[in-house]
Structure 1
Amino acid sequence: MNRIFNTDSQRSDFLFQLSSLLGEGYSFSEAIQLYLEFTDGKRKKWVYSIYVEMQEGESFSEQLISGGFSKELISYLIFVERYGDFQNGLMQASIILRNRDELKKKIKKILHYPVFLLVGLIVIGTVMAEGVLPQFEQFFDAMGQDLPWISRWMLAFATWFQLPILITFVLIFLGIAFFFQAKAYF
């Protein structure tokens, strides 16, 4: 997919730069034209299309949908565009996006530890199920004794939860994790 902005941080920078230009005394039309001079590629085409739509009477805020901005943020900017201080509203939207991006990064960092623990638990469980528990069973058979109830329960669970099933669950889990990670940067 051909994205204009890959992260909320980039969206934040866009709004911050427009807000800064407005704060320096440029009109919004001049700010957009100045921004066009210092950008390139697909972002330049997108900003130019915004400029053209605005010349035809469309509002700036509604044009942000194609840039991947959230509906909540667009609603906020529509309100500010109609009833408030637009330059300050752009700055506040920029701050919101920056904080949202930082929050996503923190959550991602926080989730690394539980995922690491889960993978470690799966590896240890696999080693136990495939290597250690069968040795206990052989040892108790050689001694002519019955296994303790917890060992019998663990062996029954280990035979049910074989390695191919485990690998399938891990692959499904990783697929879901990558899907949500890609969705987070949309």
Structure 2
Amino acid sequence: MADKAGISNTLFLWKGTDRKGNKVKGKSMASNELIVRAELRRQGIVPSRIKKQTSGFLKGNAKIKPADIAIFSRQLATMLGAGIPLVQAFEIIATGHENFAMQKLIASIKSDVEGGSALAEALAKHQLYFDDLFVNLVEAGEQAGALETLLEKIATYKEKTEAIKNKIKKALTYPAAIIVVAFVVTIILLIFVIPAFEDLFQGFGADLPAFTRMVIDLSQFLRNQGWYIAIIGTAAIYTFFYFKKRSRRMRHFIDRATLKMPIIGSILQKAAIARYARTLSTMFSAGVPLIEALESVAGATGNIVYENGVLRMKDEVATGQRLQQSMENTGLFPNMVVQMIAVGEESGSLDEMSAKVADFYEEDVDNAVDSLSSLLEPMIMAILGILVGGLVIAMYLPIFKMGAVI
């Protein structure tokens, strides 16, 4: 309920004079200007100007990204470490943030904390941005009186997991973009350029080469049936993503299939293991019990196959089985990882060994992605050259043939 109220509130900018006559300014979240004015007077501030925060074209449309949450965690940890009170830290972070949506989020959290809520409780109202892992770690930090330390761990965790995600996304986005461009260029040539050559060839009065005839037939097919293909293709893509988003079984099938893909599957597997190990290390070092930690770790792997595997591990550990044995039972973890976790369990340093596993696989993912990029770039350019070059050759074959006859 409080979250809904926070969303309906507006962010106001204000300027005024405090009890000592100093000029002050700031931001407040409220449903209207009268509430802001009353709150400022209660604080001993005489407002000279109050206005709604205008979002601007870009800022108003900007969404809150995981990177924003990582930066927020780092800034908050730094300010608490410098001895700045929590509420004042929120004000400073919000003032320096250019993302209007992030400003509103921080102002809403600040309002809840000022109202007496614990930070973990205030964050839990915004589950879209702060997952159970984040909230649990903050709660552990508040209870242990080590909020600054836990926020540092959260920031490091978020930064590293986002770095892996962005690395993989960047590696896959470039080839995907090139393939899309190649596809669009090919369609444009077939629909708009090939017909001009077709009209020219009709005046030759001779049989066309088989390759040229095939390209012209494809061009005619696209011109006649292109709309149907586009509609069916769009519907198929929409249906795919619709069921992927809503069907856990569909997501499991897709994630399992991607893990079996050559090269890319290996990278995704390593990334899932890195996230598993990094999350486990962060949770365990914060004093979160293993079974409770595995609950959060499952959702952080980024792959439903690993998520289901970790949830099975949690159930087995709850019955008294060792973590190392439960990992081995899933068949999802390489022997090296299982052995390192076993050493961590034996020596009482599970968090440290998990961190070492995460470091190893994060570096491995970096190297694998760089190698994949180096491999894909020339392959994609070759495919693009074959597509466009093939169409050009198909159109000039009859001209070369006629020239040879003459």
State the TM-score, normalized to the length of structure 2.
0.32
C-alpha distance in 1, partners of 2:219/2:155?
Answer: 53
Q: Hey, what does 1:87 align to over in structure 2?
A: 148
Offset of residue 64 of structure 1 = 2.0
Contact 1:61 1:81 in 2 (8 A): no
Larger Rg: 2
State the TM-score, normalized to the length of structure 1.
0.60
Contact 1:5 1:68 in 2 (8 A): no
Letter in 2 for 1:119: V
C-alpha distance in 2, partners of 1:80/1:4?
Answer: 31
CA distance 1:126–1:13, shift in 2 (3 Å)? closer
| Structure 2: unaligned runs, 5 residues or longer | 1-6, 8-59, 96-102, 239-406
Q: Hey, what does 1:99 align to over in structure 2?
A: 160
SS of 1:142's partner is coil
Q: Hey, what does 2:71 align to over in structure 1?
A: 13
Q: Hey, what does 2:134 align to over in structure 1?
A: 74
Answer 1 or 2: which has greater helix percent. 1
CA distance 1:129–1:104, shift in 2 (3 Å)? same
Q: Hey, what does 2:120 align to over in structure 1?
A: 61
SS of 1:162's partner is helix
Aligned residues with identical type, % of pairs = 14
Letter in 1 for 2:123: L
Equivalent in 100, 118, 124 of residue 180 of structure 2 = 118
CA distance 1:61–1:152, shift in 2 (3 Å)? farther
SS of 1:6's partner is coil
Offset of residue 93 of structure 1 = 1.1
| Structure 1: unaligned runs, 5 residues or longer | 177-186
Answer 1 or 2: which has greater strand percent. 2
Letter in 2 for 1:142: G
Letter in 2 for 1:98: E
Q: Hey, what does 1:130 align to over in structure 2?
A: 192
Contact 1:8 1:98 in 2 (8 A): no
Letter in 2 for 1:45: A
C-alpha distance in 1, partners of 2:202/2:123?
Answer: 69
Q: Hey, what does 1:46 align to over in structure 2?
A: 108
Offset of residue 91 of structure 1 = 0.9
Offset of residue 160 of structure 1 = 2.4
